[in-house]
Structure 1
Amino acid sequence: MAKSARPNRLERLPKVWYNLGIALCLGIIAACVIGCALTVYIFKYIADEPVVDLDAAQMSYTTILYGKDANGNDIEMERLHGDVNRIWVDYDDISEDMVNAAIALEDKRFREHQGVDWKRTIASAVNLVIPIYEGTPGGSTITQQVVKNVTHDDDFSIIRKVKEILRAMKLEKHYSKEQIMEVYLNTIGLGNNTAGVQAAANLYYGKNVSELNVAECASIVSITQNPTKYNPFTNYDNLVERTQTCLYLMHEQGYLSDEEYEEASNYQLVIAENTGGQVNTYTDWSWFTEQVISDVLEDLGAEKGYTEEEAYDLLYNSGLRVYTTCDVEMQDYLEKAFNVDTNSTIFPAVINEEYPEGAFVVLGLDGQIKAIAGSDRTKTGARTFNRARDAVRHPGSTIKPIASYSLAVENDIIHFSSLVEDSPITITENGVQRTWPVNFYGSYLGNITVNIAIQRSTNTIPVKLQQIITPQVSFNFLKNKLGISTLVESRTENGRVLSDINLAPMALGEMTDGVTPLAMAGAYQIFGNGGIYTEPYSYTRVETADGTVILEHTPISNRVISSESATVLNHLLQGVTTGTYGTGTTAKFSAMPVAGKTGTSDNDNNQWFIGVTPYYVGVCWLGYDIPEQIRYYSYAPPIIYKNIMGPIHQNLAVVQFQDDPDVEVLEYCTITGDLAGDDCETTATGWYKPSNIPPVCDGDHDVNKKDEDEEDQDQDEDEKRDEDEEDDRRSSRDDEDEE
């Protein structure tokens, strides 16, 4: 009888174990295949990836604007940032306590591992399959977090995690622990749109990171695990508890002695005032900040060729350092003082239901913008309409000193006391003749001196001067020499040709569009600095975070009138604030000399006062955004000027303007305008260029009689000329008859 075949060992096993054995073998084989495939993939597609470049990491950094303190030193004024507020700080400026706190809380074997802490990585992987720890223990080292922060590769996948591990190991071979820690502490998220320990130290404690004590360091590092849960502004108790954990770990790992641990544990964290969790809310930007933002963006485009988007990104996200011309104390004062909502005592009452809008500029005599206000209301948003920079309005009589009197004095057409006739001219409009212009005082005074004409803001005299100078010359002077770019050479609207090259715009400020308060401040500086024009500017240089200068404003100053002319005009304009007939006497404050000019456009739609002291030019403008007549009890701009500029000058020494040494100070006859003679009953003091000194008065003070005599003499000369011409004609006829 044949023997039956013996079953093999697997067949003798229970069926269930048999099946499990087969499955296990297949699983091992499959795992090996997958592992091999993964290994090939890693080495082929991942291992050859370049090392993460920490030096060229593209991240957002906070831009800082610097102004000047009372001593002229640079001080931080404002911060600008995009989505994230981050200020880079070098490793050497980070306290050792901050580094130790990060290591103790986040990666205790940081100084020993080569980019990956395998114990934590394996524990984290096992915990995903078999939950052993409460929550999910972090497997990422500080180096791995740097990789994620720099590459922004944070997708949840096994491949991404493998990439991160390999990148971290490569990173450790090319960078030191200090370099990696520097990047980590500058890139970690710390809540309230803030990243990096320097920005967080500024925001939460009002300090630089190097100034923090160990408890404050521990608290900032504690935020990064869960910025919402440990928000210092909203979850203070949670933060304190987490900080205690960090301090305990620092003590346990040997970074704090028993005494240091006890002291730090008992320290009470004092968080800075809650500003809504932002370094700046954009509505809190000062008017100056908005001015310099506009100027830097404009120059980045004009000088460096950046597109608008590129310029914005660079300014808000690249950690620039912008050094401005702002007097920080003065700007803070102006923001508060020039505000009808909160400080109405500065502003004289008007009859209108709503107070007019306004703008104010304080400019140094060297062209530096010191303070600026684009409205007399509380700011309600960012990059709002800045009337000081952008409101183009009719300047009224403030145009007279720069368009008419300055050129007339410069070209010796008039002198300080020239006798001029206040009378209208005849113009033709649409075939109809009329006399023009009228004076605001409603009459014509006949012969008056230039000094009185400027004091009274007489309209007829600039018109007659423009007939001599020509509007074209004045237009070119304002546009090309004084930087007033809003003038219109020629424009057609509704079939009409509009141009500022005419008598009304150049003599009286009745322009097609107008001028801005900032441009007028720039123009008037020539009356305080001896005739030099420098285009107004708001910053001196812009640097990258590493100190590379990318924009530098080198002011270009040009002489536009002589020093002698500037001195004469300065004293003429001082008469506006001190003279018997001055329209700006309410602008005077203390004994400080003020050379100024009032200005009103048609129907009182725009009201101005521009005043120049030995220190600053101040411009006040009032008007409605939709033009409307300003109805008033007291003319407001010079009063507002006094109320604003008086406190600005209160700690400045009272000094006089520096006159040109060649200008002669002489007495003149107030009736004839000539130098005073022995018979002159009323005299005054005048300032005269050496090239245009009037003769001595001959004692004939009947000016009208002199005019009549001159007219009779002219008539006699005309009659004699006619007789001579008739004789010539007769002689010619006689010659013809003889022929």
Structure 2
Amino acid sequence: MPPGAPGNGRVPPQRYRADGPPVTQQGGAQRPPYSSGDMPLLTHDETGATSVAREGALAVAERTEVVSGAPGMPQKPARKSNPWQRVRRILYVLLGLAVIGPLLAFVIGWMIFPVPSSDEAALTQVATFTFADDQPLATVRPENVNRVKVTLDKVPLQTRQAVVATEDNTFYSNPGFDITGILRAVYNQVTGGIGGGSTITQQYIKVSSGHDENSLWRKYKEVVLAVKISREQTKDQILENYLNTIYLGRGAYGIQAAAKAYFNKDVGQLTVSESAMIAGIIQSPSNWDPAKNLDNSKSRWTVALDRMVENGWLSPAERAQQTFPTNWLPEPPSSGGMPSDDRYHIYEKAVQELATKGITQDQIDTEGLTITTTVQQQRQAQAVDAIKKVMRGQPDNLRTALVSVDPKTGAILAYYGGANGLGLDYANALRQPGSSFKPFVLAAALQSNEGIGLGSLYDGSSPQQFEGGVTVSNSEGFNCDSCSVQTAMTKSINTIFYRMAVDVGTQRVADAAHQAGIPSDVELAARGGIALGDSEVHPIDMASAFATFAADGERHEPYIVSKVVAADGRVLFDRGEAAGEQAIPQQVARNVTESMIDVASSSRIALSDGRPVASKTGTVQLPGSKNQNKDAWTVGYTPSISTAVWVGSDLSDPIKNSAGSPIFGRMLPGSIWQEFMNSALRGTPKEQFSKFVPMGVPPAADPALNPNPSGSLSPSGTPGDDSDENDGRGRGNGNGNGRGNSDDDSNGNSDDESDSGFGDGGLFGSDDGNNSNSNDNGGGSSDDGGNSDNRNGNNDR
């Protein structure tokens, strides 16, 4: 038995586990734990094999320590790597980038590129302003862009098909981009080429965003936005936007403008052949315009039709019947533009009014608006003709305005602010109205409950002193100890109206003017001078306020825009039938009208057909001057039309006619007013004013107005006509029988007033008396009788 074997009295070597509880020995006794650092003493010699094994194990352990990097020990050489394995790894990375990179880039682009809103994507397009009869007045081309949007249903099916077949065969099936086109674009970009296959959606993105640079970045953005828009809009919506944005040559943007530019017709009238020609030139409109390159245009036309056949949109038989259009225009037709003459002021006034309705300039520029104005083309032409006729040969410094209003609606029928459309709009310029303001004094007096009527008598002597040391004189030194209100209006007696305004209250006069239609934002100074028109107003204000009298006190706000329609058919504004406001009692308004019923005939500007008309002239004296004027007016109306005419200058310097005589209200303004009213009313019913019911003291025959025993006012300048408006026409330099001279105005220089401005020693103290009351002894003449000028100094009426 070997030494240490059980039963022979020898103890065997101790064996322990490195961890865990001691190993139980035979007999139940436990051994202490084994520590790897302890090597049990051997009580016997190891055999050779055991020793060799043990040494081998130790050597292996030592080599392991060396390889693990013991200091000072040589490293074990690394195993050689396989080069193909590195290539495979690179390929895997590249493949991952090729698959994941675009997806990641698309996700990032989706997050950072917003789809343009409707406002941001809005493109400029033509806006059209028209006369009341829909004839063009002004064409607005923002940024000189010719574009008129149309809805898709206005575009013929064959036109849509021709465009889709030519530009994007897969439009209705692709997600918004064409992968082969994108790859072609990338290749061209890398190799220095140009072009690439953009879908209709991508083309729309490019045009609407304004980014048309040739770059991969643009293509990347286009693809992302094309997909986003395709998810938010239908294909038809995208196609409609595309057809309204693309450039098609000849300055035409969009299919409607192109139809006009090439065939002078609306898009809805395009034939298959015409549609194919337009579709064919989309890619290069400047080069494939038939007027520039007919052969290329025909070639592209062929491509468009053939692709329509391929898509099944055109049968071979129908294709065979098509011939290249011959009705295309050598150049686009003239489509108006912004006028530089009097019509520009109409456009300008309309734009101002649109702003008050909440329609902005941006909408005008981008929504293809059609703005219908109230101005009647014929009456505008009549206004221009009247002004040209009367002002021909007159001094160059004179300026003119004319505004005509429909009393029943407030619609502006004619609007002339001057011949230079880019200059000042005189129809909307502030000027003193002079005696044409007197009807508002009467309106205030009639409403004062003091019993004043057209027959009420006042002291009409001249000059008169008023409170505050103010001196007021009548035109031409006219005097009457007792004159009726009717006479005071006809002869424009300054002293009577000044007294009337002071008595009833100047604030009431201002209020009455605002009642009638002088805008509330026009400041009217409540002082004595208001009676003689010293506060500034616009010609359009006077036409509108007098229209209130014409309508028996019913006021309608003047307006120049009747309707606004967007290119897509939306009605942005429709004036419709607007009810008026009874601003002035009917009886008051009718009495004011009656007070002016004789002014036109007295001023020798009555209408040619004898129809009833109420009017008032006005003249404003140049401050510091006794015999010079700076503004002259005539304002008058029938029941259907109210017209104001002003003549003055830019610098408010002396206004004289071609004969060198000062201009008064009944002269040049009166002649223009008469000429226009005769033309505008010719052929219309001879309307009567409503029944006259006097207020207060009724009018009666007034000897101061008409000393003729017959009791009738002579409109022809016969003996006994003492009107200060008589211009002596046909009676100058008589034969000595007592009828040779105008009794008060053979020189044509006096008028019913020269009443706004400060004269010597008092307010409005001009009376032009040195030109009045010429002798009538038959052989003599007035002191300036040779200057009789028939109102305009040129005897051309």
TM-score, structure 1 as length reference: 0.72
Question: 1:239, 1:455 → 2: CA distance?
Answer: 74
Q: Which residue is equivalent to 1:466?
A: 501
- Structure 1 regions of 5+ residues with no counterpart? 1-10, 12-17, 302-310, 490-499, 675-679, 686-739
Q: Matches of residues 135-534 of structure 1 in structure 2 within 5 Å?
A: 136-191=194-249, 194-202=252-260, 205-222=263-280, 224-229=282-287, 237-238=291-292, 240-253=294-307, 254=309, 263-270=322-329, 274-275=333-334, 280-281=337-338, 283=340, 286-300=344-358, 311-331=360-380, 333-334=382-383, 336-337=384-385, 344-347=388-391, 349-350=393-394, 352=395, 354-365=396-407, 366-375=409-418, 377-379=419-421, 381=422, 384-389=423-428, 391-402=429-440, 404-411=441-448, 413-424=451-462, 426-427=464-465, 436-479=471-514, 482-485=517-520, 487-488=522-523, 500-504=525-529, 506-511=530-535, 514-534=536-556
Alpha carbons 2:555, 2:580 under 8 Å: kept:
yes
> Which structure has more strand as a fraction of its residues?
1
| 1:652 and 2:684 aligned | yes
Q: Which residue is equivalent to 1:628?
A: 653
Change beyond 3 A, Cα 1:223–1:398: farther
Q: Which amino acid aligns with 1:281?
A: M
Following superposition, the deviation at residue 577 of structure 1 comes to 1.2
Following superposition, the deviation at residue 665 of structure 1 comes to 13
Q: Which residue is equivalent to 1:598?
A: 617
Question: 2:527, 2:642 → 1: CA distance?
Answer: 28
Following superposition, the deviation at residue 356 of structure 1 comes to 0.6
Mark the structure with the bigger radius of gyration: 2
Question: 1:625, 1:672 → 2: CA distance?
Answer: 38
Let me know the Cα RMSD of the aligned residues. 4.0
Change beyond 3 A, Cα 1:126–1:120: same
Alpha carbons 1:325, 1:538 under 8 Å: kept:
yes
SS at match of 1:621: strand
SS at match of 1:326: coil
Alpha carbons 1:398, 1:597 under 8 Å: kept:
yes
Question: 2:390, 2:281 → 1: CA distance?
Answer: 47
Q: Which residue is equivalent to 1:721?
A: none
Following superposition, the deviation at residue 332 of structure 1 comes to 5.0
The one of 626, 632, 642 equivalent to 1:607 is 632
Q: Which amino acid aligns with 2:176?
A: G
Alpha carbons 2:188, 2:196 under 8 Å: kept:
no
SS at match of 1:476: helix
Q: Matches of residues 671-682 of structure 1 in structure 2 within 5 Å?
A: 671=703, 682=710
Q: Which residue is equivalent to 1:87?
A: 148
Change beyond 3 A, Cα 1:456–1:222: farther
SS at match of 1:522: helix
Q: Which residue is equivalent to 1:41?
A: 104
SS at match of 1:237: coil
Q: Which residue is equivalent to 2:732?
A: none
Alpha carbons 1:65, 1:324 under 8 Å: kept:
no
Change beyond 3 A, Cα 1:39–1:136: closer
Question: 1:250, 1:37 → 2: CA distance?
Answer: 39
Q: Which residue is equivalent to 2:557?
A: 535
Stretch deviating more after TM superposition (43-52 or 144-153): 43-52
| 1:103 and 2:126 aligned | no
SS at match of 1:300: coil
> Which structure has more helix as a fraction of its residues?
1
Question: 1:443, 1:661 → 2: CA distance?
Answer: 30
Question: 2:218, 2:451 → 1: CA distance?
Answer: 83
SS at match of 1:105: helix
Change beyond 3 A, Cα 1:639–1:22: farther
Stretch deviating more after TM superposition (28-37 or 138-147): 28-37
Question: 1:360, 1:223 → 2: CA distance?
Answer: 50
Alpha carbons 2:138, 2:338 under 8 Å: kept:
no
Change beyond 3 A, Cα 1:470–1:57: closer
Alpha carbons 2:132, 2:373 under 8 Å: kept:
no
Q: Which residue is equivalent to 2:596?
A: 573
Question: 2:229, 2:699 → 1: CA distance?
Answer: 85
Following superposition, the deviation at residue 369 of structure 1 comes to 1.4
Question: 1:125, 1:43 → 2: CA distance?
Answer: 16
Alpha-carbon displacement from aligned partner over 1:469-493 (angstroms, at most 9, x marks no partner): 121211222235533446546xxxx
TM-score, structure 2 as length reference: 0.68
Following superposition, the deviation at residue 673 of structure 1 comes to 9.9
Alpha-carbon displacement from aligned partner over 1:506-528 (angstroms, at most 9, x marks no partner): 211123xx111011111101221
Alpha carbons 2:404, 2:642 under 8 Å: kept:
yes
Pairs aligned (count): 610
Stretch deviating more after TM superposition (623-632 or 557-566): 557-566
SS at match of 1:564: helix
Question: 2:638, 2:489 → 1: CA distance?
Answer: 18
Following superposition, the deviation at residue 144 of structure 1 comes to 1.4
Following superposition, the deviation at residue 442 of structure 1 comes to 2.7
Following superposition, the deviation at residue 368 of structure 1 comes to 1.5
Stretch deviating more after TM superposition (521-530 or 638-647): 638-647
The one of 618, 625, 634 equivalent to 2:643 is 618
Q: Which residue is equivalent to 1:115?
A: 176
Q: Which residue is equivalent to 1:308?
A: none
SS at match of 2:502: helix
Question: 2:231, 2:372 → 1: CA distance?
Answer: 39
Following superposition, the deviation at residue 129 of structure 1 comes to 5.2
Q: Which residue is equivalent to 1:734?
A: none
Alpha-carbon displacement from aligned partner over 1:373-416 (angstroms, at most 9, x marks no partner): 111x243x3xx421112x111101101112x1222334464433
Change beyond 3 A, Cα 1:655–1:52: same
Q: Which residue is equivalent to 2:772?
A: none
- Structure 2 regions of 5+ residues with no counterpart? 1-81, 622-627, 714-797
Question: 2:231, 2:446 → 1: CA distance?
Answer: 76
SS at match of 1:265: coil
Identity %: 24
Alpha carbons 1:186, 1:195 under 8 Å: kept:
yes
Alpha carbons 1:98, 1:214 under 8 Å: kept:
yes
Question: 1:618, 1:664 → 2: CA distance?
Answer: 29
Q: Which amino acid aligns with 2:400?
A: G
SS at match of 1:385: coil
SS at match of 1:606: strand
